[in-house]
Amino acid sequence: MAKVTKTNAARLLDQLNISYELRSYDVDPKDLAAESVAAKVGLPPEQVFKTLVVRGDKTGIVLAIVAGSMTLNLKALAQVSGNRKVETVPLKEVQPLTGYIRGGVTALACKKAYPVYADEWIELFDVISISAGQRGLQILLSPQDYLMAVQATVGAIAMEKLA
């Protein structure tokens, strides 16, 4: 396996003295779904968390962290974040706002420090997987360390995916 290059997200965890594991996987650009990533890193989808970029009518940009097996509940996020309305940003805005491309977005070492909201589901696990800031690389770490590193507010912001 090729040597894994540390990302800015991993370097930030190093600075914070947070232990983690980097896990690489083969990327299929046509399938960036959290469920696919979960299978490739050997974890159930509910332990692989995705970062969504959302714009609130009062707060502006916020990041939402939800399990790969769930979907973001926009109304719940609006309430938790102090907005009347929130919507996910168009894909073309994600990289300019965060510095990361789709499939590699993480709240760690973002271009700018945005408010972070994590679904309460995150606290159910000993280990979670998040993007390391590039496609094909995940960071496995404790949810408590991650929540502290990104200064997240935890709330009920996700719901089961509709079939």
Give the tens place of pLDDT for each residue, 16-61: 999 999 999 998 888 888 888 999 999 999 999 999 999 999 999 9
Reported pTM: 0.93
Report all structural domains of the chain as residue ranges with CATH numbers, in order of start.
Answer: 26-160 (3.90.960.10)
pLDDT given at position 147: 98
Residues 63-99 pLDDT 10s:
999 999 999 999 999 999 999 999 999 999 999 999 9
Cα separation of 91 and 104, whole Å?
Answer: 12
Handedness of CA 121, 10, 131, 87 (dihedral sign): positive
Confidence of residue 3 (pLDDT cuts 50, 70, 90): low
**DSSP bridge pairs for 87:** 55
Handedness of CA 70, 10, 92, 58 (dihedral sign): positive
- Residue 161 φ/ψ region, left for φ over 0, alpha for ψ in the -120 to 50 degree band, beta for the rest: beta
Residues 114-153 pLDDT 10s:
999 999 999 999 999 999 999 999 999 999 999 999 999 9
Cα separation of 157 and 81, whole Å?
Answer: 10
pLDDT given at position 32: 83
Q: Give CA angle at 79 (75, 82), nearest 5°.
A: 130
Q: Give CA angle at 74 (69, 76), nearest 5°.
A: 95
Cα separation of 133 and 137, whole Å?
Answer: 7
